[in-house]
Structure 1
Amino acid sequence: MTQQGAPRREAPPLAAIAPEGVRADRGTAPRAFTYGVGGYTVVELHGEIDIVGRESIGLELDRVTSPPAPAVVIDLTPTRFFDCSGLELVCRAYRRVRDRGGRLWVVCDSPLILRTLRVGGLLDVLCPVPTLADALRED
């Protein structure tokens, strides 16, 4: 709310505040893009992973972690924002994979998301790797 008579400030154009290399036309809506590579199911999490995307992304993670002994890679490199709702989703996926005798790898190179994982106590449990190629080499 602006005080009456106060000059109205215009928001800077997105290009002026977006970090270099970030496309201004990329949406922030949370979504999961899933595909197979070899015997792995890769789930890329795009956009802002918060309470808004909890249901849709949670449903996709539940689907890919349902089979016996799933081999799942959660790729957080396309993720623009990740909060405690994201922590809960990844932790749930980890428990489901572990309980079914499978393996879960996490790909993340974002210092902010890695910090969120550390604060949430998941960094040492998940042992994220910086690239998808690294996750596919792990065993």
Structure 2
Amino acid sequence: MPQGASHATPDAAPGSDAAAGDLCRLPDHPDPAPYARTSRVGGYTVVALHGEIDIAGLAGVGPALDAATGARAPEVVVDLTPTTFFDCSGLGLLCRAHRRVAERGGRLRLVCDDPLILRTLRVGGLLDVLGPVATLEDAVGEE
């Protein structure tokens, strides 16, 4: 090693080459696993999806959505306001819910005001199909 050169070690000081290398490591996931919280508001079953809705999170939210959409003529509101991330896996989840509700003669409403999630819905072709509204009050108050 040339004179004056240093060899980076795992316990190098902040600002050194080793500390910069730490930026490449992913931190522990700070958010809890995604989950769904189901409630009743008026005549609607509201399923609020919390956390990151991606392929890894489907198992945490899919069963609750299936339960809500499995009844005869279900009136379901999917609330994405507590959702922090939403990708094409989430689009598939919403497509399935929409299909199940339609097959059973029910109605599905969507609550979402996040610009990035709305963009994902638009690109996925679901924005016009689901017609999201900004608040839960808007979803349960529409007739």
The TM tier, using the shorter chain, reads 0.7 to 0.9
> 2 CA distance for matches of 1:37 and 1:116?
27
The ranges of structure 1 where at least 4 consecutive aligned residues each deviate by more than 2 angstroms after the TM superposition are: 4-7
> 1 CA distance for matches of 2:99 and 2:106?
10
1:101–1:58 Cα change, 3 Å = same
Q: Does 1:67 align with 2:78?
A: no
TM-score, structure 2 as length reference = 0.81
Q: Does 1:134 align with 2:138?
A: yes
More helix by share: 2
What secondary structure sits across from 2:56 in the alignment?
coil
What secondary structure sits across from 2:19 in the alignment?
coil
Q: 1:8 aligns with which of 16, 19, 26?
A: 19
Partner of 1:100: 104
Structure 1 gaps, min length 5: 12-25
TM-score, structure 1 as length reference = 0.83
Q: Which of the pair has more CA radius of gyration?
A: 2
**Shift of residue 56 of structure 1?**
2.8
What secondary structure sits across from 1:8 in the alignment?
helix
Q: Kindly indicate whether the alpha-carbon contact (under 8 Å) linking 2:49 and 2:78 is maintained by their aligned counterparts in 1.
A: yes
| AA in 2 matched with 1:63 | A
Structure 2 gaps, min length 5: 1-6, 9-16, 24-29
What secondary structure sits across from 1:53 in the alignment?
helix
**Shift of residue 7 of structure 1?**
3.5
Provide the aligned C-alpha RMSD in A: 1.5
Q: Kindly indicate whether the alpha-carbon contact (under 8 Å) linking 1:76 and 1:107 is maintained by their aligned counterparts in 2.
A: yes
**Shift of residue 104 of structure 1?**
0.4
> 1 CA distance for matches of 2:74 and 2:50?
22
| AA in 1 matched with 2:123 | V
**Shift of residue 28 of structure 1?**
4.4
**Shift of residue 88 of structure 1?**
0.4
Q: Kindly indicate whether the alpha-carbon contact (under 8 Å) linking 2:33 and 2:60 is maintained by their aligned counterparts in 1.
A: no
Q: 1:44 aligns with which of 42, 48, 51?
A: 48
Q: 1:88 aligns with which of 86, 92, 98?
A: 92
> 2 CA distance for matches of 1:118 and 1:71?
23
